[in-house]
């Protein structure tokens, strides 16, 4: 299975928590926002979704 991580830039506060918890380094903080720079590496573990209470990150199975 493959997953597509998406960031809602309006909800992202640039805290970097998603980058810290991601076991496969999908995210980087660029211009004070999270960016899925390695989206093809996403394993769908949802660690980033769980840590971010504002709901800025969604994972879609593709």
Res 54: pLDDT: 78
Rounded average pLDDT per 10-residue block, the chain, 62 residues: 94 94 97 96 96 88 94
CA–CA distance, 60 with 37 (Å, rounded to integer): 16
Residue span of the structural domain in which 50 resides = 3-61
Spacing of C-alpha 47 from chain mean position: 9
State the CB neighbour count (10 A cutoff) for residue 34.
27
CATH number at residue 20: 3.30.70.20
| Total domains in the fold of the chain | 1
Verdict on whether the full-model pTM lies above 0.75: yes
Res 19: pLDDT: 96
Res 53: pLDDT: 73
Res 8: pLDDT: 95
Res 52: pLDDT: 77
């Amino acid at each position: 299975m493959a997953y597509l991580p998406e960031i809602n830039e309006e909800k992202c506060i640039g805290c970097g928590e998603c980058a810290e918890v991601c076991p496969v380094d999908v995210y980087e903080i660029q211009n004070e926002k999270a960016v899925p720079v390695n989206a093809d590496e996403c394993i769908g573990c949802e660690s980033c979704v769980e840590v971010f209470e504002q709901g800025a990150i969604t994972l879609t199975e593709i």
